[in-house]
Amino acid sequence: MATRNTLHVEVVTAEHELYNGEAEIVDAPGADGQLGILPEHAPLLALLGPGPLQIKLHGNDSIFFVSGGFLEVSNDRVTILADTAEQAEEIDEARAQAARRQAEERLQDAQSRTERAELQAALMRALSRLKVVEIARRSGRVR
């Protein structure tokens, strides 16, 4: 296969397709840390955690929040199967802040381990959403 300097990226959720196009870099939230994918990456199958997903193309970035899912790379094709995904512009910052505060407060007096784990996950989601908004703002896309 001829050397290409872009990746073909598809972002899909169960309900619809969010992105289908080229990219130079994909920065995805792996379960154990951010994953940066460049063209000619080895075949990869990764679990995603909640976090920001950035698709960079000639300084024209798309930023999403994904709550989890799978990422597959093969032959310069990146497929992201997200449980849920939101575009940075769609995120309600105030709601994410509220969710974060609520999770933090409840975490203080959480009793059982499952409850703690659930609240931790909720907190992670809220923080990731806020981070997505933050990244988007820094790149001058939102508000």
Interacting residues with other proteins (CB under 8 A): 10, 12-17, 30-32, 35, 42-47, 70, 72, 74, 79, 81, 83-84
Q: Which is nearer to other proteins, 81 or 142 (CB)?
A: 81
Rounded-to-integer distance, Cα 136 and Cα 119, Å: 26
How many CB atoms lie under 10 A from the CB of residue 108?
7
Dihedral sign, Cα of residue 116, residue 121, residue 124, residue 129: negative
Q: Which is nearer to other proteins, 30 or 127 (CB)?
A: 30
Rounded-to-integer distance, Cα 20 and Cα 62, Å: 11
Rounded-to-integer distance, Cα 38 and Cα 56, Å: 10
Q: Which is nearer to other proteins, 20 or 105 (CB)?
A: 20
Q: How far is the CB of 143 from other proteins (least distance, A)?
A: 28
Q: Identify the bridge partners of residue 48 per DSSP, sorted by sequence position.
A: 30, 69
Q: How far is the CB of 22 from other proteins (least distance, A)?
A: 17
Q: How far is the CB of 139 from other proteins (least distance, A)?
A: 26
Q: Which is nearer to other proteins, 31 or 107 (CB)?
A: 31
